[in-house]
Amino acid sequence: MRPFAYSKATSEPDAIARGGETATKFLGAGTNLVDLMREGVEVPAALVDVTGLSGSIEETDNGGLMIGAAASNTAVAESAAVRERYPALTRAILSGASAQIRNMATVGGNILQRTRCTYFYDLEGSRCNKRRPGEGCDAIDGFNRGHGILGVSQDCIATHPSDMCVALAAFDALVHLAGPGGRRIVPLADLHRLPGDTPDVETVLAPGELITSVELPAAPVDARSTYRKVRDRASYAFALVSVAAVLRVTDGRIAEVRIALGGVAPKPWRTREAEDALVGATPGETAFVRAADIALSGATTRPGNAFKPELMHRTIVAVLQDLAGASE
């Protein structure tokens, strides 16, 4: 690990002032960043510790929740308001890592964690366009069982690893940012960029911008939500596929639905066309199969992950059937 400077921000303005340099990184718990530094993937000249900033979970005037970026994953998952009104978020966080990591990891850090693609971590033996743009992507013709099938490009097929972000996308979460240019709000679903021909640019954050909080809009009345993760082992494994869904049925028809997918794309993947096709439909296997078909119509597979479309299709249908059954 290379030498670096360290300082701890005393306030949000102080963090922004300290984090303005290109080679400076904001440090939450470091559960991902420190690993990347050990491997030599990240080589910041300075770290600004932002764990002292707000980690509160507070009610908003519109009936939602405002979650400070420094809140631990455990605090969010155990929040009574989250468990009651956003149960898919609690399920996603609890499926995401060991208890020790959840106790440390912050909401802001979880959102900004980087891919777990093995080629991304292998500095000496593998080509990776995320590390060195234009170098090539060894995952495309290599071991790609865990890689993406939606939103990928010829330059990168890595997936975003977060479980929490998939649930946040399903709840239309808003990410509050602050930086040298002021404050702004970005929908979580729009925060992460698709790779295209610049896979090294992973988010829409400007240099020096800091995630200050995440806002959950008011949960839909009478809606049910859940999160399902399919993985190779029961604990501490990244998703092969995952689904977060919110469903509201009124008078025997689907009045509202949101579906977000994980483990299959470079970002939490909202299936808006599939959602639109379900609104007004009678809940049942026919409608859910059609929605899954739409959600996966643009899938691009490699030999190692050719099983993912079928696995994701079955998972989408099963999750929606569970929610529809619970709504009856």
Q: Does the structure show a pLDDT above 80 at 20?
A: no
Residue 195 domain-assigned? no
Decide if pLDDT at 22 tops 80. no
**What pLDDT does 290 receive?**
98
Q: What's residue 23's pLDDT?
A: 83
Domain assignment of residue 61, yes or no: no
- Secondary structure class of 44 (helix, strand, coil): coil
- Domain CATH number, residue 304: 3.30.390.50
**Phi and psi of 237, rounded to 5°?**
-135, 145
Mean pLDDT value of segment 250-269: 97
Question: What pLDDT is stored for residue 327 in this prediction?
Answer: 55
Task: For residue range 292-309, list pLDDT tens digits in order.
Answer: 999 999 999 999 999 999
CB 77 within 8 A of CB 94: yes
pLDDT tens column, 219-248: 988 999 999 999 998 878 899 999 999 999
DSSP notation for 125-193: T---TTTSTTS--TTTTS--TT--SSS-BTTB------SHHHHHHHTT-EEEEEETTEEEEEEHHHHBP
Look at the pTM and tell me if it is higher than 0.85: yes
- Is residue 288 in some structural domain? yes
Q: What are the strands, taking DSSP E only, across the chain? A: 5-8, 24-27, 46-49, 57-59, 65-68, 174-179, 182-187, 210-216, 224-230, 241-250, 253-262, 269-270
Provide mean pLDDT across the span 39-61: 95
pLDDT at 164: 98
Query: Between the CA atoms of 216, 183, 75 and 96, what dihedral angle is there, to the nearest 10 degrees?
Result: 80
* Residue 328 confidence (pLDDT) above 60: no
Q: For residue 113, is it within any domain? A: no
Query: What is the reported pLDDT for 234?
Result: 82
39 found inside a domain? yes
Q: Is the pLDDT of residue 1 over 80?
A: no
**Does residue 76 lie in a domain region?**
no
pLDDT, tens only, 176-226: 999 999 999 999 999 999 999 999 999 999 999 999 999 999 998 899 999
Average pLDDT, the chain: 95
Strand pairing of 5-8 and 46-49? parallel
pLDDT bin (cut points 50, 70, 90) of residue 74 is very high
Which whole number is the average pLDDT over 75-81?
98
Domain tally for the chain?
A: 2
Q: Which domain holds residue 22?
A: 5-51
Calpha distance 162→243 (Å, rounded): 12
**CA neighbor of 191 nearest in space, from 279, 106, 270, 304:** 270
CA of residue 73 relative to chain centroid, distance: 13
Residue 326 has pLDDT above 70, yes or no: no
Residue 132 falls inside a structural domain: no
Mean pLDDT of the 30-53 span: 94
Least confident of 10-24, 114-128, 142-156: 10-24
| Residue 143 reports pLDDT greater than 80 | yes
* Residues 94-129: tens digit of each pLDDT: 999 888 999 999 999 999 999 999 999 999 999 999
Is residue 16 situated within a structural domain?
Answer: yes
CATH label of the domain that carries residue 27: 3.30.43.10
CA separation for the pair 241, 228 (Å, rounded)? 9
pLDDT at 242 (0 to 100) = 98
State the Cα–Cα distance between residues 77 and 74, nearest whole angstrom. 5
